[in-house]
Amino acid sequence: MTQAYTQRFTEVHELLDPAWLAPANKAIGAHTTGYVSMANHQRAVYMLFTGVMAAASTADLQLWQATDTEGTGAKVIVGKAITQLTQAGGDANDACIIELRTEELDVDGGFDCVAGILTIGADTVFATLVPLFGASNYVPVPVANWTEVVD
């Protein structure tokens, strides 16, 4: 499904909440969005934006799939990970995106839910992760997760 010229971006792209990770200084560890069903969507994007990275810090983003929104049977989606960002590599203030289509999920195994896992290693990273689902089977999609929509 494509976006018609007259459709609003917010009518065809659903912002996931509480799955998204608000801008903050992320500590060492795994920061996981909620598992969300893609049953009503054909595409998803997970956008990672970094800011200040403390000395020796690293950031990895990988998409995982599960059979339900509780994360049952969770496993990595092969090929859906960014190249590790590092403070030493000058990766502060970077923008990365992972795109996903439903046919890349193990649908034969019953996997239709997806989550992003941002892993911070060695020190802190100021970052935000924004997941959007698109190519909805049923438009318009809910806009309740947006604070404000201006046409």
CATH 2.60.120.20 fits 10-128, yes or no: yes
What pLDDT does 17 receive?
A: 66
Whole-angstrom distance between the N-terminal and C-terminal Cα of the chain?
22
pLDDT-derived band of residue 2, with 50, 70 and 90 as boundaries? Answer: low
* pLDDT score for 146: 84
The 3-state secondary structure of 61-128 reads EEEEEECCCCCCCCEEEEEEECCCEECCCCCCCCEEEEEEEHHHCCHHHCCCEEEEEEEEECCCEEEE
Looking at the chain, the whole-number percentage of residues with pLDDT higher than 70 is: 95
Model pLDDT, residue 77: 98
Domain borders along the chain are 10-128
Q: Mean pLDDT score of the chain, rounded to an integer?
A: 91
Residue that is written with structure tokens 């649908």 in the block: 107
pLDDT surpasses 70 at 62:
yes
Residue 84 has pLDDT above 90, yes or no: yes
pLDDT of 23 > 60? The answer is yes
Interval 8-30 mean pLDDT: 84
Per-residue pLDDT, 18: 60
Q: How many percent of the chain have pLDDT more than 90?
A: 73
| Closest C-alpha among 40, 83, 62, 52 to residue 129 | 62
Q: What is the pLDDT of residues 30-52, one digit of tens each?
A: 999 999 999 999 999 999 999 99
Is 134 in a helix, a strand, or coil? strand
- Specify the pLDDT at position 19: 58
Query: CA 103, 50, 145: angle at the middle one, nearest 5?
Result: 60
Contact (Cβ atoms closer than 8 angstroms) between residue 46 and residue 98: yes
